[in-house]
Amino acid sequence: MVLKDKRQIEKNKHFFQSVGHALEGIKKLILEERNFRFDLIITVVVLCIGLLMRIEIYDWLWLFAAFFSVIGSEVLNSIVENVVDLIVGHHFDLMAKRAKDIAAGGVLLSAIFAMIIGALIFIPKFVELLK
């Protein structure tokens, strides 16, 4: 059933309807979440460096694991922030702060993981180039 103002209130009826909502969510992330855009830019830069350095397939696998770890945790962090803001509104709440801080910590942990992966892959390549 659809309300008069065309807002959907029932479950998606078709796969493509679900895909449309998912794409709308990605669009919101890109337009509204600065850190998500930053993560995408870093991903593109690292992809270009990987292509230039002709890294091996197993290195690509690790890099993509790192990319999606960071991007996925950033998505989850955005979800937590939006749900917390929906619940508490514009009022300070210590538990809301705690939830947001923990979600942000998850992003930081995945970013550290990605930096370690990047260092393990690229530092030896750069050292090899300098020889």
Rounded CA separation 108/74 (Å): 9
Domain ranges within the chain, ordered by starting residue: 15-130
- Residues carrying an active site annotation: 74
Residue whose C-alpha is closest to residue 36's, from 89, 90, 72? 72
Rounded CA separation 102/53 (Å): 36
Q: Is 107 exposed, middle or buried (0-12, 13-18, 19+ CB in 10 A)?
A: buried
Going residue by residue through the chain, which has 131 residues, state the pLDDT in tens, using 9 for 90 and above: 455 567 777 888 889 889 999 999 999 999 999 999 999 999 999 999 999 999 999 999 999 999 999 999 999 999 999 999 999 998 999 999 999 999 999 999 999 999 999 999 999 999 998 98
Place of tokens 């996925």: 72
Would you list which residues are annotated within the binding site for a divalent metal cation? 33, 81
Would you list which residues are annotated within the binding site? 33, 74, 81, 100-101
Would you list which residues are annotated within the binding site for ATP? 33, 81, 100-101
Q: Which two tokens stand for residue 38?
A: 């930053």
Rounded CA separation 23/20 (Å): 5
CATH classification (class only), 15-130: mainly alpha
Q: What is the pLDDT of residue 4?
A: 59
Residue whose C-alpha is closest to residue 67's, from 110, 126, 35? 110
CA dihedral of 4, 22, 44, 54, whole degrees rounded to 10: -150
